[in-house]
Amino acid sequence: MTGALFLLGIWGLRSRPEIALAAILSVIMPIGLLWAINPAHALAGRHFAFALPMVMLLVAHGLVMAGRFVETVLSWRPAIPRARTRRVVATTAAVVLIVASHLPAGAALGGYYQWRRGTDWRTVADVLDRLVGPDDKVVATLGAVYPLRHYWRPAVDEIDAERLQARPRSMAPARRTRIITIEGWDWAPELHQWLAAHAIRVGEVPASWSRQRVYIHAVTKRR
């Protein structure tokens, strides 16, 4: 229903094609740019906030168009002669359309987050609980530090690839160390090299719409 009102709003701008084109591009371009930059992460629900203002304006315009259509249809019927009656009926129809199109939104949003719950950062936290001991040191790349501090443990340090290269012994396995990285996110080349030489991958969590694939590495003895 909301999609139909959105399309009706665009149709109502057919006499002003430049405005219709600008409105369509303002919806498509933010998602398209995010998709081009990182397809695996583009469809996170929060990213649609960039397109939402124009979507709501077009839906509202669609409601106006629907109300005008109802009023025009009623004006053809001699049994409903009064303009005020026609406006009341048209407004009532618009309100019914609003309710019909927006009442399911809460349930749909709840379903979306329930579906995403199985593969979000809480899942990563559950995996880390199984792989990381209470005395293990955990470091993570920038993209993982803050979600881990929020959803898992506050005592997660950000990894510094340059310092890691300069002082590899600081990661010696006298105290077990786990390194958390995210696929396609803030991976410096020197970190790749260091992990290949000094760590093994011990776990991973598949990507979801809200984040990329997460890798868990265990630091080994220096080769």
pLDDT at 170 over 50: no
215 and 199 Cβ atoms separated by less than 8 Å = no
Could you read off the pLDDT of 2-44 as tens digits, one per residue? 778 788 888 888 888 888 898 888 888 888 888 887 676 666 6
Q: What is the pLDDT of residue 173?
A: 46
127 confidence band (pLDDT: 50, 70, 90): very high
Query: What is the predicted pLDDT for the residue at 30?
Result: 83
Section 55-75 average pLDDT: 77
Label residue 143 by pLDDT band (50, 70, 90).
confident
Cα–Cα dist 17/19, whole Å: 5
- Parse the chain into domains and list their residue ranges: 2-116, 121-219
Q: Is 147 exposed, middle or buried (0-12, 13-18, 19+ CB in 10 A)?
A: buried
Q: For the sheet containing 137-140, what is the strand order?
A: 157-158, 137-140, 177-182, 214-219, 199-205
Between residues 94 and 174, the one the model is more confident about: 94
CB neighbours of residue 118 within 10 Å? 9
Is the entire prediction scored with pTM above 0.75?
no
